[in-house]
Amino acid sequence: MRIAMIGSGYVGLVSGACFAQFGHDVMCVDKDADKIARLRKGEMPIYEPGLDKLVTDNMRAGRLDFSTNLADAVGNADAVFIAVGTPTRRGDGHADLSYVYAAAAEIAEAIRGYTVVVTKSTVPVGTGREVARIIREARPATDFDVASNPEFLREGAAIEDFMKPDRVVIGVESQRARDVMAAIYRPLNLIQTPMVFTNIETAEVTKYAGNAFLATKITFINEIADLCEKVGADVHDVARGIGLDGRIGRKFLHPGPGFGGSCFPKDTLALAYTAREADAPQTIVEQVIEVNNARKKRMAKKVIDFCGGSVAGLRICVLGVTFKANTDDMRDAPSLDIVPALMAAGAEIVAFDPEGMKEAARMLPGVTFARTAYEAASDADVLVVITEWHEFRGLDPRRLKEAMRQPRIVDLRNIFNPDEMRGLGFAYEGIGRPQPRT
């Protein structure tokens, strides 16, 4: 199959590279000429484990290329995937679809022969239908179908998620389009991946329902963690105790400072907005958004309370600023709420993050960035873990203690063992874990 991928951001780039790995001929397109030039040299615009090798291997094999020329890519393709950004529209929470519709208009002019136009970006219900209308209106005689094929990959595990998905959801409304989509995903038959074929609206809703459910699950365990803190229970044991019930499942029950990233915050908002417009309000999701926003803000207060009610004049070591581990992505990261609030309360912040510091330096002015976690901890009055980078788990607590002015840790991801840290002389507080009995 010949595939054109319109938009070479996270989803476009990973999907394009993985489709090439499936054996298809893929042309990834982007308007950003600099990004395309760098990709052609094998330079990745994002940090994603394994992506650089996948891209360079497939370029070398002649199956993957990058271009700014949308018309050529679309003209030669059996399927065109729209993977451009859908940011939150300013002011109302609705997804901004202007890039999607602009891409549809350009695609319409470039189609030659039967082509399936697929939305891969997360788009509100009704978008696929509108894409079809735009193409049909611009070129009434065009031979095409639209399809919706939402992506479920996670940043940091994107390649594994794409190559070994739990399922593939495909919204199509003609046998011809279904055949093309089935051919594209045929390599996954080998690992018996379930293919869920639906109509277009169903596929679109499925994507939002999935993300909203996961965001709800996280928010639920975060509130249970609050309860655990008050009553002397351990949220990890609660999560295990409920998660072993197959109806609930163990994943996404890890408490933390609140969910962030480029998807959950944006998609829950967009779902709430679409649902209100459709007169079917999603009140649970609306509550999740509110609870999560409040939680991210409250985390700074947790640190301040832990320090006895004030952090004025204190030096705070922040470990991890990205919205989760294994990414350099800072979008809607809890650190963006926590760090400025601590600075406003008079603290000096020295931070370290393995991949996110370049972006963070722009978004967190006034923060000093250290070269290592130990350097960040040097002379600190308290250490705050915001992101659960694997390498933080391996830090030597004795070395941290020696480096710090006061051995105090607020662990917003529960990466350390409370008993061990307290045993070593740290004042330690995690999320949803019992305080030692006095």
Interface residue with ligand UGA, options 19, 81, 220, 259 (CB under 6 A)? 259
Interface residue with ligand UGA, options 197, 252, 306, 374 (CB under 6 A)? 252
| Shortest distance, position 196 Cβ to ligand UGA, whole Å | 15
In angstroms, what CA-CA distances link 203 with 9, 148, 152, 212, 273?
22, 6, 12, 14, 18
Task: Choose between 166 and 279: whose C-beta lies nearer to ligand UGA.
Answer: 166
**Distance between start and end Cα atoms, the chain:** 67
CA 353/CA 234 separation, integer angstroms: 28
Enumerate residues 296-325 that contact ligand UGA by CB under 6 A. Answer: 323-324
Enumerate residues 320-349 that contact ligand UGA by CB under 6 A. Answer: 323-324
Contacts of 224 (CB under 8 A, 6+ apart): 235, 238, 239, 255, 432
CB atoms inside a 10 Å sphere around CB 294: 10
Residue 127 burial by Cβ neighbours in a 10 Å radius (0-12, 13-18, 19+): buried
Residue count (the chain) = 438
Residue in 28, 263, 307, 317 annotated catalytic: 263
| Shortest distance, position 148 Cβ to ligand UGA, whole Å | 14
| Shortest distance, position 66 Cβ to ligand UGA, whole Å | 21
Angle between helices 98-110 and 127-138 (to 10 degrees): 40
In angstroms, what CA-CA distances link 12 with 27, 120, 139, 171?
10, 8, 26, 18
**Residue 295 interacts with ligand UGA (CB under 6 A): yes or no:** no
The stretch among 130-138, 253-261, 291-299, 376-384 that binds ligand UGA (CB under 6 A) is 253-261
| Shortest distance, position 65 Cβ to ligand UGA, whole Å | 25
DSSP string, 274-290: HHHHTT---HHHHHHHH
Residues touching ligand UGA, count (CB under 6 A): 21
Task: Choose between 36 and 299: whose C-beta lies nearer to ligand UGA.
Answer: 299
**Residue 269 interacts with ligand UGA (CB under 6 A): yes or no:** no
Interface residue with ligand UGA, options 22, 208, 264, 392 (CB under 6 A)? 264
Angle between helices 200-231 and 283-306 (to 10 degrees): 40
CA 262/CA 135 separation, integer angstroms: 29
What the block records as the tokens of 438 is 């006095």
Interface residue with ligand UGA, options 30, 48, 65, 151 (CB under 6 A)? 151
Is 263 an active-site residue? yes
Which run of H or E residues covers position 343? Answer: helix 335-344
| Shortest distance, position 332 Cβ to ligand UGA, whole Å | 8
The stretch among 242-250, 252-260, 349-357, 430-438 that binds ligand UGA (CB under 6 A) is 252-260
**Residue 218 interacts with ligand UGA (CB under 6 A): yes or no:** yes
The stretch among 88-96, 259-267, 280-288, 353-361 that binds ligand UGA (CB under 6 A) is 259-267
Task: Choose between 260 and 430: whose C-beta lies nearer to ligand UGA.
Answer: 260
CB atoms inside a 10 Å sphere around CB 140: 7
Q: Residue 127: what residue type?
A: T
Task: Choose between 170 and 404: whose C-beta lies nearer to ligand UGA.
Answer: 170
The stretch among 172-180, 247-255, 376-384, 399-407 that binds ligand UGA (CB under 6 A) is 247-255
> Helices (DSSP H) in 111-199: which residue ranges?
127-138, 158-163, 175-184
3-state SS assignment for residue 317:
strand
Interface residue with ligand UGA, options 115, 121, 122, 148 (CB under 6 A)? 122
Interface residue with ligand UGA, options 153, 224, 299, 377 (CB under 6 A)? 153
Enumerate residues 81-100 that contact ligand UGA by CB under 6 A. Answer: none
CA 404/CA 298 separation, integer angstroms: 25
CA 170/CA 43 separation, integer angstroms: 31
Interface residue with ligand UGA, options 128, 261, 356, 432 (CB under 6 A)? 261
Task: Choose between 67 and 292: whose C-beta lies nearer to ligand UGA.
Answer: 292
Q: Which residues bind ligand UGA (CB under 6 A)?
A: 122, 151-155, 211, 214, 218, 252-254, 256, 259-261, 263-264, 267, 323-324
Residues labelled as active-site residues: 263
